């Protein structure tokens, strides 16, 4: 994923694999968090169909370095192959709960999704009222448009104008529905970019669009999440 981050404190972190329990099933996840005491906002990162790629894990670590507790559940490694789709929303809910109940999470939680994960991020934001923000990259809004019109979750949605899977009328309708909602929102379209514009490991990577989206995302998260509260003697550096 794009690594052009704005200047901010950088925290020492711990990262690795954990497991969360969703609907009685054990779901693997990748986890990263500041290793410095204090409390931090939580983020759930939802991958595209490629699973927990090196790019996703790198993004998780970088977000943790900025001062977030981050969980990326592996939705491609389900314990129930007969009905894998049935576990996706419970797995996301389990990740949210793991953050919310952690003593180093300050209770503010946002969700970020890419591609199919972007669709799930929109669905989660439409169906829950306890998220502080949702960021969706190339997520299909069509199945959830009526619910999004009533959402209270601030939403930031990014689209590549060359992504054939998300037609322009669907994006226009999303803008209309979000305009009717009371929550803060922004929909950004990069006309010359495709579906994978944010991932520098894929051929569709578009550096300028990715850098701009990254700045927007971080500013959006900073605006809607409570700042970290860390010990006064924490050693840090800027990046």
Q: What is the pLDDT of residues 12-35, one digit of tens each?
A: 999 999 999 887 888 899 999 999
**Which DSSP string do the residues of 149-202 spell out, in sequence order?**
TT--S-EEEEEETT-TTS-HHHHHHHHHHHHHSSS-EEEEEETT--TTTT-TTS
In the predicted model, what is the mean pLDDT of residues 126-134? 96
Phi-psi region of 167 (alpha: psi -120 to 50; beta: other; left: phi over 0): beta
In the predicted model, what is the mean pLDDT of residues 127-150? 94
Task: Answer yes or no: is pLDDT of 214 > 50.
Answer: yes
Structural domains of the chain, ranges and CATH numbers in brackets: 9-224 (3.40.50.1820)
Q: What is the pTM of this model?
A: 0.91
Of 169, 114, 122, whose CA–CA distance to 144 is shortest? 122
Is the Cβ–Cβ distance between 170 and 122 less than 8 Å? no
82 pLDDT tier (thresholds 50, 70, 90): very low
């Amino acid at each position: 994923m794009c690594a052009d981050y704005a200047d901010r404190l950088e925290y020492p972190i711990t990262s690795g694999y954990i497991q969360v329990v969703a609907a009685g099933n054990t779901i693997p996840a990748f986890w990263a968090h500041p290793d410095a005491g204090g409390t931090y906002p939580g983020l759930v990162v939802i991958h595209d169909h490629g699973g927990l790629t090196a790019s996703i894990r790198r993004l998780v670590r970088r977000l943790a370095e900025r001062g977030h507790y981050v969980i990326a559940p592996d939705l491609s490694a389900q314990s129930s192959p007969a009905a894998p789709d049935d576990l996706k929303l419970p797995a996301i809910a389990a990740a949210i709960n793991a953050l919310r109940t952690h003593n180093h999470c300050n209770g503010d939680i946002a969700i970020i999704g890419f591609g199919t994960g972007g669709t799930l991020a929109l669905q989660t934001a439409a169906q829950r009222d306890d998220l502080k923000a949702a960021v969706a990259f190339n997520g299909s809004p069509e199945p959830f448009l009526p619910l999004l019109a009533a959402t209270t979750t601030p939403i930031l949605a990014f689209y590549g104008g060359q992504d054939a899977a998300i037609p322009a009328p669907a994006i226009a309708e999303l803008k209309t529905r979000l305009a009717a909602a009371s929550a803060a929102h922004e929909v950004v379209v990069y006309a010359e970019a495709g579906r994978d514009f944010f991932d520098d490991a894929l051929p569709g990577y578009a550096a300028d669009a990715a850098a701009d989206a990254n700045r927007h995302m971080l500013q959006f998260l900073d605006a809607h999440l409570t700042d970290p509260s860390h010990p006064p003697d924490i050693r840090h550096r800027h990046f």
